[in-house]
Amino acid sequence: MLEKGFIGPIGDDLPSLIPVLLGLVIFFSTFTITFNAFDQRNTEFKTDIDLMRIARVLQSNSYIYSHDKFNELCNEIGTVKLRYVAMITSDAVEGKKVGNIFDIEAFRDSGNLEYICSNTSPPSVHTPAAISDYITVQQASGTKLVSRLYPIVAEDDKVVKPLHLVVVAWQ
């Protein structure tokens, strides 16, 4: 008479179940890794979309006719999950050589007003304000920093000046 294994009737089938269980483990591991990679790419894509939404609101029709209008556009942004700083800069127009994005300084109009919009407050303020007032290179090294540059024109004392809108966002 044939004796069954110590585990019982399933003891004889155990060797045939091991490949099935191993296959299920490999399948679900692969599925989890793929899903995590997709989720990470989706998060990066959402960050880019949020940044472009901020820029689209601030850029408006690419013509900023007053500091009050810029502040009004800044208030229209609403709540986003990113920390950001956006500023209008004249560095390129004035021929300043900017080494990196942290050295970009805000444009000051004839009324000495700076065109800056941010949902964070700078730890230190100096004149003129720069992006490095909001996030430093050391802080940025541990985060994903996204930046965009858009050409715009701004009116200053009835003179239309070609400038740039710089938007920097991080999580």
| Model pTM score | 0.74
CA dihedral 72, 62, 153, 47 (to 10 degrees): 80
What Å distances lie between residue 164 and 62, 88, 124, CA to CA?
Answer: 10, 6, 24
What does DSSP assign to residue 163? E
Contact partners, residue 50, CB within 8 Å, separation at least 6: 80, 81, 82, 169
86 with 167: CB under 8 angstroms?
yes
pLDDT in tens, 64-88: 988 899 999 999 988 788 889 999 9
pLDDT in tens, 24-78: 999 999 999 999 999 999 988 888 888 899 999 998 888 998 889 999 999 998 8
pLDDT at position 2 is: 60
Contact partners, residue 74, CB within 8 Å, separation at least 6: 58, 86, 117
Distance CA 122, CA 31 (A): 43
pLDDT at position 42 is: 92
Sheet holding 83-89, edge to edge: 63-64, 145-156, 159-170, 83-89, 116-118
